[in-house]
């Protein structure tokens, strides 16, 4: 099986098979008997492109058969061709041409992923989720997935890293507000600032290269800006009281409801004095 996977679906359906009769696994079956692929990695279909395919099917028919496997009872489960199936329904067809194959669950997922990736129909998030399924459900390593998909291992690892982003950022990628390249730049930023950085990239329409450069200084610049911003009455009051109590310079910085209090001493003697004051407060 694996020797064929990187070569595409045509390698999985040799011409010799297609020349055989229905008994050899080729035929036409009612759409109503085909269940959706439970391992289908694609979550969304582009309505416009689906309608274009439906129009093409009405005019030319389905040129490439769907691939299905026998399921319980008299039904079949789709392995590959979900977009063609949905377009066939849209076109009003009641039956479709199929190739019937016997496959394992792993092979079923792999075939679905391969078809979608090779046709460039998966979004970056859908592709990452598909790889995650291969890792979690079937125990494949990144290197094994790379071999199966005929891709570089680093490409697989980078794809999976997208799922470590905050849910809000993942949603921006799914909505195509951020590209996969921009998302990798967001990963360069500390987790607490990733959503903020993603929104910054969208607001200022940075290129991927600009985003990568900005990621190196974004958090530092944001923190400096926060520290140089005028303090509010509450923080000023706390600074004054603590400064009076400890006889030291005190700085309160705040950002997004969180902050820190800094006590500055200029000599060992001042540090010793601070220690004595803290001991008295116990």
Catalytic residues: 82
Compute CA distances 53 → 41, 45, 66, whole Å: 20, 12, 14
Query: Which candidate, 34, 41, 53, 38, places its Cα nearest to that of 100?
Result: 34
Q: How far is CA 126 from the centre of its chain?
A: 6
Q: How far is CA 137 from the centre of its chain?
A: 17
Query: Which candidate, 210, 208, 206, 218, places its Cα nearest to that of 183?
Result: 208
Which element (helix H / strand E) includes 79? strand 76-80
Which residue bears the tokens 């004595």?
Answer: 276
């Amino acid at each position: 099986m694996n020797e064929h996977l990187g070569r595409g679906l045509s390698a999985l359906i040799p011409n010799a098979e297609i020349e055989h009769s229905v008994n050899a696994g080729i035929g036409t079956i009612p759409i109503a008997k085909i269940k959706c692929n439970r391992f289908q990695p694609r979550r969304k279909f582009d309505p416009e492109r689906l309608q274009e395919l439906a129009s093409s099917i009405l005019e030319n028919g389905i040129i490439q058969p769907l691939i299905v496997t026998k399921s319980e009872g008299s039904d079949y489960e789709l392995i590959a061709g979900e977009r063609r199936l949905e377009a066939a329904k849209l076109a009003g067809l009641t039956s479709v041409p199929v190739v019937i194959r016997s496959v394992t669950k792993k092979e079923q997922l792999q075939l679905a992923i391969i078809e979608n990736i090779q046709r460039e129909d998966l979004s970056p998030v859908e592709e990452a989720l598909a790889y995650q399924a291969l890792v979690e459900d079937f125990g494949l390593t990144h290197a094994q997935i790379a071999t199966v998909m005929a891709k570089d291992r680093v490409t697989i690892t980078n794809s999976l890293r997208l799922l470590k982003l905050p849910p809000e950022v993942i949603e921006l990628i799914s909505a195509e507000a951020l590209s996969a390249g921009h998302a990798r730049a967001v990963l360069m930023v500390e987790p607490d600032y990733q959503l903020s950085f993603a929104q910054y990239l969208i607001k200022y329409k940075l290129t991927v290269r600009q985003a990568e450069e900005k990621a190196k200084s974004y958090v530092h610049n944001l923190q400096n800006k926060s520290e140089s911003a005028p303090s509010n009455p509450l923080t000023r009051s706390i600074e004054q009281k603590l400064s009076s109590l400890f006889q030291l310079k005190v700085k309160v910085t705040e950002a997004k409801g969180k902050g820190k209090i800094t006590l500055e001493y200029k000599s060992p003697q001042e540090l010793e004095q601070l220690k004595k004051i803290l001991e008295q407060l116990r």
